[in-house]
Amino acid sequence: MMRKLYLVILIGLSVFAAKAQIGGEYTYQFLELTNSARVAALGGTQVAVSDSSDLNLPFHNPSLLHSDMSNRVLVNYVNYLADVNYGYASYARTYEGIGNFALGMHYINYGKFAEALESGELTGATFKAAEYALYMIYSNSYKRLKYGATVKPVFSAFESYRSVGIAADAGVNFTSKSGLTTVALVARNFGTQITTYYQNGDREKIPFNLEFGVSQKLKHAPVVLYATLQHLNHWDLASPEEEPEFNTSSIYQYDESFLKQFMRHTVLGVEILPSKNFILRVGYNYQLRQELKFDDKASTVGFSAGFGVRIKRFRLDYGISRFHLAGSSNLFSLSINLNDNP
């Protein structure tokens, strides 16, 4: 039985699911996936969204966990590509004088696979692959400065291979006196594997990501502009961090201009609010477009869109992201306010 081949294939799927970042150099890549329909519609990551009622936001920046999110429950589902699906569920609670807390579970299910021998003959058996991360989030504030942290135990299972790890996020955000401008800085996914997939195996890196974001509400128009700079810890996103052992000169791009390199770090988004209870969204991720487009037919790869609806206690968001010509990803988020006075 060619189990090592299974592991390579499955980890490859995980890399593809995590925005196909150059090189596939990390484990637990699913930690990079957004499961928020709102954030996906805004380009895939935004860390400076000023909204005290959206429990999706602390997933990307723990400092965005707000007391107004207390006693809210959130359920997300993502219909991904190739029968892969993932999601997130969370609940928040505020304790006066202590701070804000949220507990969440992020998972990805890669589906069912047919087992085969080295010769390719099917054995008739099947196996599954999935990964899980428990999110324990805390936040507090000092005047207009808000800060937060997340601790994330991780469990990964590919057929008979298992790995346990620990990751963490730390973030801050600051809002102007007018409330129109928010800036934020967050370090996501710093940590390590605790146990490796193989006995006595080397510990693999996890996808650390340093992000800086800003949002700007227009004073005289119902529009909010967003921009986030991602992967600030790794400037050259067109090349692998480490030179691969095999020849990949036809795959990787080198020596891009400063502007193109800068754009690879930039994720842009816009929200338009025709009314208090209805929001339209659109986003653009240049890095995603460069990695997954076909040169002869770029189509709308890298673009995303969506909308949000609020009805009393309920908040429903939908987002669609164009990852590849082969298909798009649909995201659904449902938040329920359990407070007596919503």
Tokens of residue 197, six digits? 């997939």
pLDDT in tens, 117-129: 888 888 888 888 9
Whole-prediction pTM value? 0.86
Q: Is the dihedral of CA 88, 94, 98, 100 positive or negative?
A: positive
**Tokens 């988020």 identify what position?**
333
Q: What is the pLDDT of residue 75?
A: 97
b/e code 148-165 from CB counts within 10 Å (16+ = b) = bbbebebbbbbbebebeb
Do 30 and 325 form a contact (C-beta atoms < 8 A)? no
pLDDT in tens, 90-114: 999 999 999 999 999 999 999 888 8
Q: What is the pLDDT of residue 120?
A: 80
Find all residues with CB under 8 Å of 19, minimum gap 6, and list them: 32, 33, 44, 285, 287, 288, 291, 323
Domains of the chain from N-terminus onward: 3-337 (2.40.160)
Q: What is the pLDDT of residue 119?
A: 81
**Phi and psi of 67, rounded to 5°?**
-60, -25
pLDDT in tens, 17-63: 334 444 457 899 999 999 999 999 999 999 999 999 999 999 999 99
pLDDT of 326 > 70? The answer is no
Query: How far is 182 from 102, CA to CA, in rounded Å?
Result: 22
- Beta-bridge partner residues of 328: 322
Write down the mean pLDDT value for the chain: 86
Distance (Å) of CA 214 to CA 83, 103, 324: 35, 26, 28
Query: How far is 41 from 120, CA to CA, in rounded Å?
Result: 41
Locate the DSSP E strands across the chain. 72-79, 85-95, 99-116, 122-142, 145-158, 161-175, 181-195, 209-217, 223-229, 266-275, 278-285, 303-311, 314-324, 327-337
